[in-house]
Amino acid sequence: MNVRSALEYVPYFRGRLFVVHVSARLLQAGELVDALLDADALHEVGVRLVLVAEGCDTALLALRAGECEMHAAVAEFPLTDGAAAVARVREIVERPQVAIVAAGAEGRFHKACVDMALELGASKYICLQAGEVPCRESQPIFAVPESEVEQHLADCTHAGLLQQAAEACRRGIPRVHLLDGLHRGVLLDELFSEEGVGTMVHADSYREIRPLRVEDIPELLSMIARSIADAKLVHRDYESICENLQSYYVYTLDDTIVGCVALYPYAQEQCAELGCLFIKKNYEGRGYGKAMCRFVESKARSMGFSRIFAVSQSAVAYFRDRMHYDPLPRTVLPPARLKALEASGRASEVFGREL
């Protein structure tokens, strides 16, 4: 886990409420202690926690929490008792302690559990299980919008759990995580990294392409500094980006910037340039670059332009082979752009496509 990335999440999580549902099988496993140590660390940084034991008995979960010296208290009523149980859980959480409560029924997404999470305004509903993470070709389905879950059901494992997670999102839970509680450090690895290690079904804007903001500029400059130094991107500074702020967009995961792109319009020539395309190294190969290209193509089309072009000396293969842009002579460039390219002395090639 990247410590710098983890620290960025701490203020974001502080004060939020997470419901952690522990499956009956995991309650019997020794690895549960590791997961509870993670949960205790979350509580220490200000996350409000409710631990739900699947079934009707909290004894094992309370015992393991005690071994971790967790500041916890057990609710006397199972969640199937309704309002009285939820009121007791709320009282414990607001002390603040970790609330431990029995679901009162089997199943990861029993109505009483989801109702409680909604009533308390939980921002995450986390299922800790003994395995049982939805996978395709032996790889977890890391993050999927609830609206796209149906597309994954035919060829993934544990499709029923994935479907139930999507239904919980539709009811109002922003994010549902399906995690393997036998994996050491799973809670922290999942929550303190952009991609995580389990399956997350989300109803909010986990992935987003949005306009660059003034306060983002220092982070953007830091992100692309190496590529500028290596001459893979043309030089940009704070002032030049600020002057053309409306041209820049960033790709975010959990509000963390992982990529950028720019759209420069040439109104007189009825075309636009796709520029400053960059993805952080750890996030390459996941389709984010293509998503940003398609995004600015759509923007250019909505602005009434009929062509888009890109000028690059380091991403030649990408535009040619991945984006299938056509190689073009420099003479197709708008006169101002051609003059700037020749003045730069860069051996860049030109690619483009009709919109």
Cβ atoms of 260 and 252 closer than 8 Å? no
**Residue ranges per structural domain of the chain:** 3-204, 208-354
18 sits in which H/E element: strand 17-22
Contacts of 202 (CB under 8 A, 6+ apart): 143, 144, 145, 146, 169, 174, 175, 176
What CATH number does the domain located at 208-354 have? 3.40.630.30
pLDDT bracket for residue 210 (50, 70, 90): very high
**Sign (positive or negative) of CA dihedral 166, 168, 173, 176:** negative
Chain centroid to CA 306? 33
Q: How far apart are the first and last CA of the chain?
A: 42
Measure the CA–CA gap between 348 and 337, rounded to whole angstroms.
12
Query: In this model, does residue 1 exceed pLDDT 60?
Result: no
3-state secondary structure at position 83: helix
Query: In this model, does residue 339 exceed pLDDT 80?
Result: yes
Predicted local confidence at residue 6, as pLDDT: 62
Predicted local confidence at residue 106, as pLDDT: 94
Cβ atoms of 43 and 37 closer than 8 Å? no
276 sits in which H/E element: strand 271-279
Query: In this model, does residue 22 exceed pLDDT 90?
Result: yes
What is the per-residue DSSP string for 224-267?
Answer: HHHHHHTTSS----HHHHHHTGGGEEEEEETTEEEEEEEEEEET
CATH class for the region spanning 3-204: alpha beta
pTM equals 0.69
